[in-house]
Amino acid sequence: MRTTRSVPARPVLITALALATAGSLLLAPGAAGADPRPVTREGSAVDDRAAQAPASATRRALTADVTTGTTTRAYPRRLLLSPDPRNPADTSLKLGLTPYHAIAPKLNALQRLGDRVSVEVTGRSAGGHRLYLVTVTAPETLRQARAQERMRELIRDAPAAAATSREIKRAYKTPVFVNNNIHGNEWEGTDASLKTIERLATAKDAKTRDLLAHSRLYFNITANPDGRIAGTRANANGFDLNRDFVTASQPETRAMRQIELGTQPAVLLDLHGYVNGTLIEPTTPPHGENYEYDLFLKNTYANALGMESAVNALGYTPAKDGVEAAQIPFRDQEEGWDDWPPIFTPQYAAFHGTVAAHTVEIPLAVNNEEYDDLPVTELRRRSAINTAVAGAAIRATLTHVREHRGTLITDQIEVFRRGATGAAQVPVSPETVPGVPGIGPEDVYTTRFPRAYVIPPGGASTQRSGPAAARLVDHLIANDVRVTRATRPFRLAGRTYPGGSYVVDMHQPKRGMANVLLADGRDISGTVSVMYDISGWSLGRLWGATVERVPSGSLRGAPLRAIGEAAPVARVPAHGDLSLPLTDPREIAALNSLLRQGVPVRRAADGGVVVPASARRAARTAARDHDVSFTATRQTGTAPLHRLRIAAAVTPGELFALREMDFDVTPVSTAVLNAGFDWSGTDVLFVSAGLEHAALTAPARRALDTFLDGHGLVGRGATGADLNAATGRLAVKPVEGNADANGVVKVTNTGGITRDAPDHGFVYAPLWFTDPGPGVRVEQSYATGNPLVSGHWRPLRDGTGGPAAAAGQASVVSGGNTVLFGTEPLFRDHPKGEFPQVARALFTVAHSASVKESG
């Protein structure tokens, strides 16, 4: 299953209802039956301001409240889209599907069909393409639209009152979200949605009128236009968007998150491919322990049965069409397609009140080798079937919503009620979830929520990193978690916390979202034999901030004030030389910005850097842009630093993280080096993927070896260790653990590169080092005992490769101008608190090489 399934991703925070571009008003085109309301002409491109902005601007963009009455508008909301240039290279064309450049004209035409279709631009992809949200609903006046927003907020913020509201039962429109094409080379959901929208725009039957009078249907037309055009799973940054929801590093992910938070869907479909027969969630164990799984399973299974029936009713057969009967993993499989991590669209949605959420894998493969090798006629036959299957899933879901909207909204209210009151979760059983067959103890996953989490403020002796704390607080708020701040010192559960501390009260509607981000998680290695993707992800352990879990106690009378963003960290003393710690990626970015300007920065004995008083103005700019704090120092510093030029054979996530820290990076690979790479502008090589010494041509190998004779190497994982061995640098023996293992691990830091690093790291296919030779320093080791805190890490069948074998062994080693990592400190741009280890390694090996060269 791990090799066949494509998994969904999760959405973003600003309400899509407020993101249409501004522009001049035009009279609506006069199609038959068209609504004569004004149409907004698309103005300048909507950009993703949070993507590249300084930390302070990013914070404002991520926490902006766009659900207020000032942004509520009536329906339909017309937006006249400017066309995109025709692109004959769009991979959709070969399949007979809608190319990206045809989507804007199609949406313009759909808006002209009547008064039910609205189009908005929710942002731009990493590659600069517009992201389109279509809303289909019966027309609403401004007053009616405001009433819908008020009821939506009542459901979330006052669920007890919402549960008894006659207005909600009578007039609230059930929100439904259909997400398409999050994996770019799984195309057909887009076309199925366009066909559905066209049918709904003009249908006159009573069932359609009833559906649209009592529902808002939201269609994210293509979540990944970069991949749709290029025929790739990932976006233009190389990210699988369906793995990015915990981190939200990509603009497309943030746009989806905003749609989810702004629309609060009760039902969600995420359309994928390709698994034959069609795979329809709910999934196999383990099940996410932080959401209300009894409500999720009840509604998701009921809708899955309807989709299964609709798909099978299309009449496709294995013999005639190559199409197997649809399957529901919860019912039909043992394990391998779980819903444990919140990185997939449906699982992330569950934390925002979605009670029926599905990944749907349509059946016939048309991507990868099939795309390259099959005849066009066969590809188009398969795509037509896939489009029909996706359309059947959508139609069945809309039928389910029309027939069960009362139950769906009642259960969504109950999700928020349990969170707000601190009520216990309800374990699934045949009694608590009637009508779902085969429920057993293997399906029971619950957790014990703490009373609160406390994040001490920057500057407090108990806070490891002020920038990390601020970033974590802003990320919580961006995910609609309520955070308060203490106006003065207070006591909780027998302990005194300083004023300025951030408090996450776990009696809140989205307690599951708070806990899934902050909690350690669980070691589930003994629960199932295989997991679909990552099994541990804790921001409380991996993002670099000190987070205190408070199991019990009372917040009554605590001096807490609700906040919309973290307090700024930026500070620069008025006099003297300045010290900047290097314990957070924002501090690394600030350092690199100073080096870019030619500021004479020197290493400090405490692991940070010294900036001269003469550069105070530049320091102030860096502090403001990156939200970091400088302190006064009497240190003179040691070796000077210079801006590094890095050649990197790394994963897309690592490349993105390096650039996030403002390093000057040039991607390389075996092919790039074989084509003749000019090493003269490079200071250090970072290798973790895509570079094999044995596959290099003789000239490329000589050039690489010559470069490494006088320059630094940072290696990560098996690929980095192999290059180290091939070039005869560090005398260590790399040992590969179970390649399927991943999670949060406890580590012991003993070296300068890991100085002040968190005592937890992340592993994915873990590696460790034994038999260190002369000159090899152990910078970090896996903790003794069982180093795995949360995740899935089993020994191999022969008993090797497990956490017991890694316990106490070196996870990071260094020597001369080489550093090797057995952990994954930059994984998918996620473990932010680990980033500085890589930055320090790069500066260390570059400095060692320059000292060696000058010596």
Active site residues: 369
Residue linked to tokens 């910078």:
779
Instruction: Indicate the length of the chain as a whole number.
Output: 855
Torsion of CA 737, 741, 743, 748, to 10 degrees: -10
Largest Cα span, the chain? 85
Distance CA 338, CA 279 (A): 12
Can you tell me whether residue 662 is helix, strand or coil?
A: coil
Six token digits for residue 206: 């009573």
Distance CA 126, CA 685 (A): 26
Beta-strand pair 645-649/631-633: unpaired
On whether the CB atoms of residues 161 and 421 are closer than 8 A, the answer is no
- Tell me, what DSSP letter sits at residue 424? P
On whether the CB atoms of residues 230 and 105 are closer than 8 A, the answer is no
Strand partners, 455: 502
Task: Give the DSSP letter string of 738-766.
Answer: -TT-EEEEEEEE-SSTTTT--SEEEEES-
Distance CA 293, CA 347 (A): 10
Distance CA 235, CA 84 (A): 18
Distance CA 249, CA 653 (A): 9
- Tell me, what DSSP letter sits at residue 571? B
Can you tell me whether residue 103 is helix, strand or coil?
A: helix
- What count of other Cβ atoms lies within 10 Å of the Cβ of residue 391? 24
Please write down the long-range contacts of 163-169, taking CB distance under 8 Å and 24 or more positions apart. Answer: 163/410, 163/413, 163/414, 163/417, 168/409, 169/406, 169/409
Q: Of 44, 42, 61, which Cα lies nearest the Cα of 52?
A: 61
Q: H-type helices in 456-584, by residue range?
A: 466-478, 511-518, 539-542
Residue 510 Cα distances to 73, 333, 420, 811, angstroms: 27, 31, 8, 37
Distance CA 820, CA 470 (A): 30
What contacts 532, CB < 8 A, 6 or more positions away?
1, 2, 5, 7, 336, 337, 338, 340
At 150, give phi and psi (nearest 5°).
-65, -40
Note the Cα 466 to chain centre separation in Å: 23
Cis before 774? omega within 30: no
- Tell me, what DSSP letter sits at residue 250? S
What's the alpha-carbon Rg for the chain, to the nearest Å? 27
- Tell me, what DSSP letter sits at residue 319? H
Distance CA 709, CA 729 (A): 9
